[in-house]
Amino acid sequence: MWNIFRSRDGEQPGGSEKHIDRTGERRVAKSKLVHIVDSVPALDDLEGPLVMVQVLDGFLDAGNASVRAARHLVEASRTAPVVATFDVDAFHDYRARRPPVTFARDHYEDYETPRLVVRLLRDAGGTPYLLLHGPEPDNRWEAFARAVRDVVERFEVDRVISLGSVPMAVPHTRPMTLTHHANNPELVTVESPWTGELRVPSSAQVLVELRLGDCGRDAQGFVAHIPHYLAQLDYPHASVALLEQVELAGRLTIDLTDLQAEADERDAEIARYLEGNDEVAEVVHALERQYDAFARAEESGSNLLAPNQPLPTGEELGREFERFLAGLDDDPGDDPERPTE
């Protein structure tokens, strides 16, 4: 049985590699696709477990929930030095996801270089932890997973926690729900809402979790369920829910005050708009009735993924609801009834 937090001086499971500590000892990386700094003094005297949060944007990020959560972690940390850099050219498809650049009158400037990095952050109490974030690799997932393992072994990461979000046929007026997953059953501390098996598209984060499990390394994650009619908007309420799970799983203390205020503001904007738009409000009420019926029946094995359910979406939302979604990102002065950013 795996230990949830392994001993510092214990041998790593499933291998005979020499134990590497967190001091500045130079270590040659196995993967040539990641550069790891030689010395991280902040980790020299760390006695407790070290956690690495993983957020890869581009797929599992409905409502921009996980990316917003990662940005909050960086903003909340006093410092955020990069301790590992992945070779983004090896993973990024530039023609599929072209980086933005500014054309200023007669020249180009401010090219936004894609970066896939690991940062050293600190929580509200000063405890160090790592954050792996950046665009999800478009290719070479196995090579990426090996590079992540190299980072995990170099810094003796005890647990990797991944964050994601998917659109669900759920109303925003009901409690936020999440799916918990892990490569170690001991890490799943809540009952899964799913029974049986559900075949879904994979992701680089999923593969990392699987491959770390293959070598006895703990990895777990949380996927927030975003109301599908809000999936294209920033939904910080889900970001708060994800980071609350990071606090529990990683034994960290994260100041969520500003992010919670942002979430409350967004919820208030939506509520104000629904008050004056009965047609859209009825769509939400229909989802509430379905949600409540589902909860009463305890049909936890049913598929709630929005694209596969005959739910009041698309045509039933109609032009008025499309206007609502677009209005959240338009100039609020155009329509005083529209919510503002």
Beta strand segments in 215-328, E: 219-227
* 126 and 204 both lie in a single domain: yes
> 137, 31 in Cβ contact below 8 A?
no
* 229 and 308 both lie in a single domain: no
Is the confidence at residue 314, as pLDDT, over 70?
no
pLDDT of residue 189: 86
Poorest-pLDDT segment among 12-21, 299-308, 321-330: 12-21
pLDDT of residue 19: 45
* 124 and 224 both lie in a single domain: yes
pTM: 0.78
Q: Kindly report the CATH number assigned to the domain that includes residue 65.
A: 3.40.50.10900
- Alpha-carbon gap, residue 199 to 125, rounded angstroms: 40
- Alpha-carbon gap, residue 189 to 183, rounded angstroms: 13
Tokens representing 283? 């769509």
- Alpha-carbon gap, residue 305 to 14, rounded angstroms: 37
* 52 and 170 both lie in a single domain: yes
Q: What is the pLDDT of residues 159-212, one digit of tens each?
A: 999 999 998 888 888 888 899 999 999 999 887 767 778 888 899 999 999 999
The pLDDT confidence band at residue 22, using thresholds 50, 70 and 90, is low
Give the three-state DSSP class for 181. Answer: strand
Q: What is the pLDDT of residues 253-293, one digit of tens each?
A: 999 999 999 999 998 888 887 787 777 788 788 888 877 77
* 95 and 146 both lie in a single domain: yes
Q: What is the pLDDT of residues 55-94, one digit of tens each?
A: 999 888 898 999 999 999 999 998 999 999 999 999 999 9
* 225 and 270 both lie in a single domain: no
Domain count, the chain: 2
Q: Look up residue 83 and give its amino acid.
A: V
Q: Which of 165, 201, 154, 128 is nearest to 27 (CA)?
A: 154
* 219 and 110 both lie in a single domain: yes
Residue 215: inside a domain, yes or no? yes
- Alpha-carbon gap, residue 225 to 11, rounded angstroms: 38
Q: What is the pLDDT of residues 24-62, one digit of tens each?
A: 444 445 779 999 998 899 898 888 899 999 999 988 889
- Alpha-carbon gap, residue 227 to 232, rounded angstroms: 10
* 246 and 305 both lie in a single domain: no
The better pLDDT of the pair 303, 269 is held by 269
> 83, 118 in Cβ contact below 8 A?
yes
Tokens representing 101? 């650049």
Q: What is the pLDDT of residues 206-262, one digit of tens each?
A: 999 999 999 999 999 999 999 888 888 899 999 999 999 999 999 999 999 999 999
* 182 and 296 both lie in a single domain: no
pLDDT of residue 29: 52
pLDDT of residue 198: 80
Residue 42: inside a domain, yes or no? no
The pLDDT confidence band at residue 299, using thresholds 50, 70 and 90, is low
Q: Does the CA dihedral 191-230-268-275 come out positive or negative?
A: negative
The parent domain of residue 136 ranges over 47-255
Residue 39: inside a domain, yes or no? no
Mean pLDDT across 132-154 = 96
State the residue for tokens 């180009």: 108
Poorest-pLDDT segment among 3-7, 31-35, 325-329: 3-7
* 210 and 145 both lie in a single domain: yes
pLDDT of residue 83: 96
* 272 and 203 both lie in a single domain: no
